[in-house]
Amino acid sequence: MSHLQTNIKIVSRGSHLAVIQAKKVGDKIKSVSPETSIEYHTTKTRADLDSTINISEAGEVGLFTKDISKNIINRKYDLAIHSWKDLPVEPSEQTEVIGTLSRGDMRDVVIIKPELINVKSKDCLEILTSSPRRKYNLENILSDLIPLCYDSLRFIDIRGNIETRLNKFISGNSDMIIMAKVAIDRIIESGNESSKNFMRNIMNKNKWIILPLSIFPTAPGQGAIAIEAKKDRTDLKEIMRRINSESTFNAVQKEKSILSSYGGGCHQKIGASVWEAKEIVIDALVGKTEEGLSIQTLSTNQLNTTSKMINVSSESMYPLKDDKKIFKRNNINNIQKIESLQKSLIYLSRKNVLNNCGNIHTSNILWTSGIQCWKYAVKKGNWINGTDDSFGEASGVNIENFISPDVKFYKLSHNQAMSKSFTLIPTYELLLNKKRIQSLSLSKKTHFFWMSPLQFDIAIEYFPEIINKDHSCGFGKTYEHLKTILPNQNKIKCFLSYKHWRVFYQKEKI
């Protein structure tokens, strides 16, 4: 084993965020090697010094990293710390990424001027961003995500560190700015008091929307920190093995490989995100190739299943789209209570809760269970802040840095719903149609997709013999419930949606 270096010189860009990320790496090294001393250094790159460079052009990949890599090659410093999304697939011929920490939030956030909330229509929305990826995808999806009609979008290129860009936004006339959420998170969590207060003030005074990865995948490596070293530094590689997040490292490598297969770097109009939930790897890819081909995929790698599955007939699957629902819904009048809520977080469990909730105050943060619920809420005039993207109410919120600690959490759902995180406000009750469920002949079915814990419990009550069949559901509460009930854990699978379930078992598009 090589001798571990007792003094490590770490270099990063000089921005507040870059310094925070370097310190995170240094602290992690000290946690596993207390005897190691850390020196922190900063430097400016050509892109930092020359504001006339167009950072989105194809020939300018790695502008914020190449100059730093040179100082690693000549051994002036030992480790270089980067936002991994800024790095080319290969940093240089003589260096490599030898490790990373656990990833921060991968998503993008749009920050919106507060006066826009009361506007119903506008000829043109002006958005600050230099990213071709963000420009392309916002043009395609923004109209579905905000309750404001517009004729066109105008994108304004913007440069500078996080604070500089936000200052330009609040002092200028642009309507929106889009950036990586992780940058805001890290400054609020680890920045100096001035920067923390500045960020909190921005988030409190403006509206914001966190874009879901399923429809808005981000730049490969976003949220991850790259630790770069010279290729021959076996001493540093040894300590990196003790702090490296293997799952993050592999995910970023896969994202970079996907983008590389389309021929480019951060100048591409392509977002690629890879993450894991319930031991399943999820890939999202959205964008437009240099040849003009539009691409959009959302897929999973079922880690807990065999690669070859039998083709299941429709007669063996429940539910089918023409199966009649076993519950009837009756409205519960809680409109006055819902309309009285202000400065709270309200979770919309499904789109039908919006049919009996009155007018929700604009000071509330609205979170949805999925994309379809989001779009439905927008059609009813609501500004949505984000979604758990069908991964369960406990998994996708992650907005502690954007809200005050005293915010109360409420959930709009049916009267039998439960939640550990939210206070329930029922907007409807479920009434079981016993004759209908008895007529389903579920004992003849072999493969099931459950939409809720209640649906599963009722089915097991009437057809206990199906408990050893194959059961599937989404990634949220139903999955956790099935794990506590089903005797054979290998009989449980997660899918992104009912449609993905049908496609997986029938090997054809629905």
One domain, residues 244 and 375? no
CATH (domain of 228)? 3.40.190.10
Is 43 part of any domain? yes
Q: Are residues 237 and 98 in the same domain?
A: yes
| Claim to verify: residue 230 and residue 81 sit in the same structural domain | yes
Least confident of 74-83, 172-181, 317-326: 317-326
- Contacts for 43 with CB less than 8 Å, ≥ 6 apart: 11, 12, 13, 14, 67, 68, 71
Identify whether 300 is part of a domain: no
Tens digit of pLDDT for each residue in 440-481?
999 999 999 999 999 999 999 999 999 999 999 999 889 999
Q: Based on the domain organization, do 195 and 253 belong to the same domain?
A: no
Give a yes or no: residue 185 inside a domain.
yes
The per-residue pLDDT for range 156-171, each reduced to its tens digit, is: 999 889 999 999 999 9
Does some domain include residue 215? no
For residue 289, is it within any domain?
Answer: no
Please give the average per-residue pLDDT across 102-118, as a whole number: 96
More confident residue, 63 or 395: 395
Q: pLDDT higher for 288 or 46?
A: 288
Handedness of CA 38, 44, 48, 54 (dihedral sign): negative
Residue 471 falls inside a structural domain: yes
394 with 366, same domain: the answer is: yes
Of 387, 411, 432, the residue at which a domain comes to its end is 432
- Residue 271 included in any domain: no
| Six-digit token string for 388 | 């758990």
The number of domains in the chain is 4
Residues 270-319 pLDDT 10s: 999 999 988 889 999 999 998 899 999 999 876 444 445 578 999 999 99
**Residue 3: band (very low, low, confident or very high) from pLDDT cuts 50, 70, 90:** low
Q: Half-sphere exposure of residue 384, counting CA atoms within 13 Å on the CB side?
A: 33
Same domain, 410 and 448: no
Give the separation between CA 127 and CA 116, rounded to whole angstroms. 13
Contact 390, 475 (CB under 8 A): yes
Q: How far apart (Å, rounded) are the C-alpha atoms in residues 294 and 307?
A: 28
Cα gap 19→284, rounded to integer Å: 30
pTM comes to: 0.92
Q: Strand, helix or coil at 40?
A: strand
Q: What is the pLDDT of residue 306?
A: 47
For the chain, report the end-to-end CA distance as a whole number of angstroms.
Answer: 55
Q: Are 135 and 223 in contact (CB under 8 A)?
A: no
pLDDT digits (tens, 9 = 90+) for 416-438: 998 888 999 999 999 999 999 99
Q: What is the pLDDT of residues 388-415, one digit of tens each?
A: 998 887 666 789 999 999 999 999 999 9
**Is there a single domain that holds both residue 317 and residue 454?**
yes
Alpha helices, H only, 305-405 = 335-340, 371-379
Range of the domain at 311: 307-323+434-506
Cis amide prior to 212 (ω within 30 degrees)? no
Gap between the Cα atoms of 264 and 258, Å rounded = 10
pLDDT bracket for residue 58 (50, 70, 90): very low
Alpha carbon 169 to chain centroid, angstroms? 24
